[in-house]
Structure 1
């Protein structure tokens, strides 16, 4: 999946998602006031920490969130039902991705009040019962990737693009329908 982040007029960021099934989607985002868009922080966090059932892994599997619309392509006949199943089945993982990307977003924006690794572990413990699976080097590398892309983003003007690749291996599982 290919994600294209583009600064738009006002405080908007346009995200165009080119899914492997031929459907192209647009995500609406209103956070250009930050150094890096929240959706880019999500994408980096989820990819680098291998959170395949987060927001972007769910989109890759066929989920369509309310902030999205189809630009081109033909969604499946059962796209709405499939999307609902994917989101429902991965709700906890989406929450975890939201929590972790929020911390890394703060770090990229320079507004983190505590050490990054401490804060990421703390937030994990709030939303997850599982043992924290990352070491400090992985969390630090994720933050560095986001800072690098934040530098690229800050140099873009309206209409320019920052492309980001989402690996096919990080696609959320698709629950089957009950018969």
Structure 2
């Protein structure tokens, strides 16, 4: 999936994501209080830490969050059902990616070490998951370095232009429930 972060002004942006299903969606940005856009921090942190079931992985798989709009292409039949299944199945990953992106973003904004980011993440992680934290200081150091480089590129991006990145992590593919066909219970309708 190709994602472009469009710089509207020094304080505003939006993103477009050209998904593999032929649909391009627009993700609105919000006025920023920091130099690095929140959605860019999510993208880099999720990609670098392999969180394929976070926000951007969900978008790549076909999720449509309420603030998103289709700007190009045609959604497939049952796209709304697929979106709901993806969001539900990725719920824990979506919660975890908020903490991870927040820790990486804050480390870049405040010039913090990976160790400080890890402590921040540990505090946040316990709120969203009972599972052990699968990220260490070395992982965070790489994500922080990547986000710092992306922040430099963003700072150099002129207003009215965009910064393109590629999402290559595998996506979750939900399976549709079996449906009745021709009144026969248990038959699955197949589409070409």
TM-score by length of 1: 0.91
**Aligned position for 2:150:** 149
5+ residue gaps, structure 1, are none
Name which structure has the greater RCO, CA cutoff 8 Å, separation 6+.
1
1:7–1:32 Cα contact (<8 Å) kept: no
| Counterpart in the other structure of 2:189 | none
Supply the distance in 2 between the matched residues of 1:177 and 1:156 (Cα, whole angstroms).
45
- Aligned match of 1:158: 159
Q: Secondary structure at the match of 1:115?
A: helix
The aligned counterpart of 1:63 is 63
User: Would you say the 8 A contact 2:103–2:118 is kept in 1?
Assistant: no
Moved over 4 A (4+): 111-114
Judging changes above 3 Å, is the alpha-carbon distance between structure 1 residues 92 and 178 closer, same or farther for their aligned structure 2 residues? farther
Q: What secondary structure does 1:15 align onto?
A: strand
CA shift for structure 1 position 10: 7.0
Where does residue 88 of structure 1 map in the other structure? 88
Secondary structure of 2:63's match?
coil
Give 5+ residue unaligned stretches, structure 2: 180-192
Cα drift, residue 4 of structure 1 = 0.3
How far is the alpha carbon of 1:175 from its aligned partner? Answer: 4.0
For 1:100, the equivalent position in structure 2 comes to 100
* 1:137 corresponds to: 138
In 2, the alpha carbon distance for the partners of 1:170 and 1:48 equals 13
The CA distance in 2 between the partners of 1:129 and 1:27, in whole Å, is: 30
Q: How many equivalent pairs are there?
A: 178
- Aligned partners of 1:7 and 1:14 also within 8 Å: yes
Contact 2:36 2:154 (C-alpha < 8 Å) held by counterparts: yes
